Amino acid sequence: MPEPTPVTMSATLAADEALARRRRAGERVLSMASGEIGLPVLAALRDRLAAAADENAYGSVAGSPALRTAVAGYWERRGLAVDPGLVVAGPGSKSLLFALLLAIGGDVIVPVPSWVSYAAQARLVGARPIPVPILPGQGGVPDPERLREAVADARAAGQNPRAVVVTVPDNPTGTVAPAATVRR
């Protein structure tokens, strides 16, 4: 069995711990570190969630057909044809990304900047993160030209890039790359 890969504490968890210490000390803080900032639930969403309270059984592992079709439609309206059968929905991006990286294998192209978890998760599954800068204002999508170069360089160095992390809209920049960049 291979040796476990040492992983440092993520910046997100460190920020959460610092915020918890400050709360215990009596300070009022608004967390902007891990996506749980404590804002009230949108009334329309709260009502839809309440109406679905009786739907409490496990759903399809990949997500309901209606959800997968809606996701494909979202991308189609933006000019990117997507087969709903290739869409997977899950409880959050971290668990989905971890499962996909384990299933795909190989090394992982990671946009720079990107959320702290992406490169760490690649290392956890034994992959090497290969950083590729984004184009200005087009977060979440590695620069297509530099992506080609990075893949060629990695293969020449004996690496095996098999996955590319793409986030639209991007986390952490909040920008949305144009459809043309995503296609390239």
DSSP secondary structure string, 71-97? HHHHHHTTT----GGG----S-HHHHH
pLDDT the model gives residue 150: 96
CB 107 within 8 A of CB 158: no
pLDDT the model gives residue 28: 87
pTM of the model: 0.65
CA end-to-end distance (rounded Å), the chain: 40
91 class by beta-carbon count within 10 Å (0-12 exposed, 13-18 middle, 19+ buried): exposed
Give the containing element (helix H, strand E) for 49: helix 43-51
Do the domain assignments include residue 115?
A: yes
Residue 106 per-residue DSSP state? S
Do the domain assignments include residue 148?
A: yes
Q: What is the CATH number of the domain that holds 107?
A: 3.40.640.10
Q: How many CA atoms lie within 13 A of 114 on its CB side?
A: 25
Counting the structural domains of the chain, the total is 1
The tens digit of pLDDT for each residue in 113-164 reads: 888 889 989 999 999 999 999 988 888 899 999 999 999 999 999 999 999 9
Do the domain assignments include residue 83?
A: no
How many other CB atoms are found less than 10 A from the CB of residue 13?
14
Do the domain assignments include residue 15?
A: no
**CA distance linking residue 184 with residue 182, whole number of Å:** 6
- β-pairing verdict for 107-112 and 161-164: parallel
Alpha carbon 69 to its chain centroid, in Å, reads 20
Provide the domain limits for residue 116.
90-184
How many other CB atoms are found less than 10 A from the CB of residue 101?
22
Q: Which residue ranges of the chain lie beneath pLDDT 70?
A: 1-7, 32-38
**CA distance linking residue 34 with residue 36, whole number of Å:** 6
Residue 129 per-residue DSSP state? E
| Coil/strand/helix, residue 132 | strand
